[in-house]
Amino acid sequence: MANESGLEDVRRRIDAIDEKLLVLISDRAALATEVAKLKSSDNSEAVFYRPEREAQVLRKIIERNKGPIADEEMARLFREIMSACLALEQLLQIAYLGPEGTFTQSAALKHFGRSVKTKAQASIAEVFREVESGACHFGVAPVENSIEGAVNHTLDMLINSSLKICGEVHLRIHHNLMGKAVNLRDIRRVYSHHQSLAQCRSWLDNNLAGAERIAVSSNAEAAKCVLQDELSGAIAGDVAAEFYQLPILASNIEDDPNNTTRFLILGQNNIAATGNDKTSILFANANVPGALQKTLACFSDNNVNMSRIESRPSRQGMWKYVFFVDIDGHVEDDVIVQVLQQLKQHALMTKVLGSYPVAMF
Q: At which of 60, 88, 116 does a domain end?
A: 88
Find the range with the poorest average confidence among 91-100, 141-150, 251-260, 316-325: 316-325
Domain shared by 84 and 8, yes or no:
yes
- The percent of residues above 90 in pLDDT, for the chain, comes to 78
d(CA 199, CA 189): 17
Express each pLDDT in 330-348 by its tens digit. Answer: 999 999 999 999 999 999 9
In the chain, what's the furthest Cα-to-Cα distance?
85
Question: What pLDDT sits at residue 47?
Answer: 86
Within 10 Å of residue 226's Cβ, how many Cβ atoms? 24
Does residue 345 fall inside a structural domain?
A: yes
Structure confidence at residue 2 as a pLDDT band (50, 70, 90): low
Selected residue with higher pLDDT from 321 and 171: 171
Question: What CATH number corresponds to the domain at position 307?
Answer: 3.30.70.260
Let me know if residue 12 belongs to a domain. Answer: yes
77 domain residue, yes or no: yes
Residue 44: per-residue pLDDT: 62
Rounded Cα distance between 84 and 96, Å, is: 20
Boundaries of domain holding 13? 2-43+51-88
224 and 204 part of one domain: yes
Q: Does the structure show a pLDDT above 60 at 1?
A: no
Q: pLDDT-based confidence at 46, cuts 50/70/90?
A: confident
Please report which confidence band the pLDDT of residue 209 belongs to, taking 50, 70 and 90 as the band edges.
very high
Q: What is the pLDDT of residue 320?
A: 80
User: Would residue 255 count as lying in a domain?
Assistant: no
Which of 232, 267, 302 finishes a domain?
267
121 vs 98: CA distance, rounded Å: 5
pLDDT in tens, 76-110: 999 999 999 999 999 999 999 988 888 999 999 99
Res 349: pLDDT = 92
**3 state SS of 118:** strand
Q: Are 329 and 43 in contact (CB under 8 A)?
A: no
Is residue 78 located within the same domain as residue 104? no
* CATH value at residue 14: 1.20.59.10
Q: Are residues 232 and 304 in the same domain?
A: no
* Per-residue pLDDT at 33: 93
Give dist(CA 189, CA 210) in Å, integer: 9
Is residue 24 within a helix (H) or strand (E), and if so which, with residue range? helix 2-42
Helix, strand, or coil here: 33? helix
Q: How far apart are CA 296 and CA 109, in angstroms?
A: 36
* Average pLDDT along the chain: 93
**Does some domain include residue 272?**
no
Q: What is the pLDDT of residue 332?
A: 97
Sign of CA dihedral 276, 279, 280, 283: negative
> Are 83 and 7 in the same domain?
yes
Q: Examine residue 233 and state whether it is found in any structural domain, yes or no.
A: yes
pLDDT tens digits, 141-165:
999 998 888 999 999 999 999 999 9
In this structure, the answer to whether residues 81 and 13 fall within a common structural domain is yes
What's the pTM?
0.90
Alpha-carbon distance 274 to 278, whole Å?
A: 10
Number of domains in the chain: 4
Q: Residue 195 has what pLDDT?
A: 85
Q: Are 162 and 180 in a shared domain? A: no
- pLDDT for the residue 98: 87
Of the residues 241, 267, 293, the one at which a domain ends: 267
What band does 6 get if pLDDT is binned at 50, 70 and 90? confident
User: Is 284 within the bounds of a domain?
Assistant: yes
Q: Percent of the chain having pLDDT more than 70? A: 98
Same domain flag for 243 and 300: no
Domain harbouring 197, CATH code: 3.40.190.10
Say which range, 78-92, 246-260, 314-328, has the weakest mean pLDDT: 314-328
Residues 239 and 309 in one domain: no
Residue 307 lies in a domain: yes
| pLDDT(286) > 90 | no
Segment 296-309 shows an average pLDDT of: 96
CB contact at 8 A, 138 and 51: no
pLDDT of residue 115: 97
Residues 6+ apart with CB under 8 A from 10: none
